[in-house]
Amino acid sequence: MTDQTFLPGPGWHGTTILAVRKNGRTVIAGDGQVSMGPTIVKGAARKVRVLAGGKVLAGFAGATADAFTLIERLEAKLEQYPDQLARACVDLAKDWRTDRYLRKLEAMLLVADRTSIFTVTGVGDVLEPEHGVAAVGSGGNYAFAAARALIDHTDLDAETIARQAMAIAADICVYTNGNLTVETL
């Protein structure tokens, strides 16, 4: 995986987004904190969305307006390529990398359906994790490490792993809180 830490915009920090897939269940969890420098400006932001009529989950880290633009583009790609999440993500990454306007967007996406998880970045990456876990954002590395430790060494389900890993990230990363949005497929 590429660097999990992403610090968007001038002075804006924050967010942890985690995806976990285990035993046929896929979960994306995101914290609610938005910080500007040392100040928490919002504690209950929703950074995880349900797309494609409930078949796809997307979580974002980075500049909010940029992320919403990317999610709108992803929704259009999912309409163009129904039930082809990988193709929609690759097509979005191509546009993001080559379009002069999109190229300037500062965000990262975690996108998942029942069988796949993808990290989509503005440098053209569409990465599928090897172990059913992916994370982005300021606390992404912490949540990722915690989920990796839990996924193969416990009988916990995907949602419980995601919640516990996010709690660990919130305890370590000052830009992550415990106010979670959790969506499951």
Tell me phi and psi for residue 183, to 5 degrees: -125, 140
Q: What are the distances in angstroms from CA 80 to CA 58, 74, 155?
A: 17, 10, 38
Count of other CB atoms within 10 angstroms of residue 181: 17
Instruction: Tell me whether residue 170 is annotated as binding.
Output: yes
Instruction: Tell me whether residue 176 is annotated as binding.
Output: yes
Candidates 2, 15, 98, 119; catalytic one: 15
Rounded Cα–Cα distance for residues 29 and 120 (Å): 16
Instruction: Tell me whether residue 45 is annotated as binding.
Output: no
What stretch of H or E contains 41?
strand 39-42
Rounded Cα–Cα distance for residues 152 and 108 (Å): 26
115 an active-site residue? no
How many helices and strands in the chain, by DSSP H and E?
4, 12
Query: For the CA atoms of the chain, what is the radius of gyration?
Result: 15
Q: Which residues pair with 61 in a beta bridge?
A: 108
| Sequence ranges of the binding site | 170, 173, 176
| Sequence ranges of the binding site for Na(+) | 170, 173, 176
User: Which residues are catalytically annotated?
Assistant: 15
